[in-house]
Amino acid sequence: MIKKIDFNWYEEFAEYRDIMEKYNVYGSTLNQLDSGDYKITLTEQRFEKLGRKNFPRKATEEKTEVIQAINYGRYISSIGFFRDRVEQSYTFAGYIPMRLTSVSPDREIKIVRKFYIEKIK
């Protein structure tokens, strides 16, 4: 079980409020996800061209881990900085980003982050 952190969401993400509100992620959403009733699983897939013209269909590297709501909030707050492609879908927590795709500036590496939110209780 992940250790719950007592946290003030509004102070942490105050400067990113506009970008987070654009994608329906508020402090109340993060509180709901941090309540212990939900499990957030992140699957990160890395695609490398390796001399090819296009990215391969199968990921070059893939890893899966369970993350806390604070980490989910940090990924969402970085959307504006890294100009990720965002795909939203309906979950237990509402219509929020569930897939982030970012491509490196030299267009050689693409990283796809998929979030899965499960209701535990």
In a domain, 59, yes or no: yes
In a domain, 2, yes or no: no
Higher pLDDT, 34 or 88: 88
Distance of CA 67 to the CA centre of its chain: 10
Higher pLDDT, 116 or 1: 116
In a domain, 43, yes or no: yes
Q: Domain residues for 88?
A: 12-119
Structurally, the chain folds into a number of domains equal to 1
The continuous run of DSSP H or E covering 44 comes out as strand 38-48
C-alpha to C-alpha distance for 17 and 47, rounded to whole angstroms: 31
In a domain, 7, yes or no: no
Three-class SS of residue 21?
helix
The continuous run of DSSP H or E covering 71 comes out as helix 69-77
Q: What is the pTM of this model?
A: 0.84
- Tens of pLDDT, residue by residue over 43-90, are 999 999 998 999 999 999 999 999 998 899 889 988 878 788 999 999
The rounded mean pLDDT for the chain is: 87
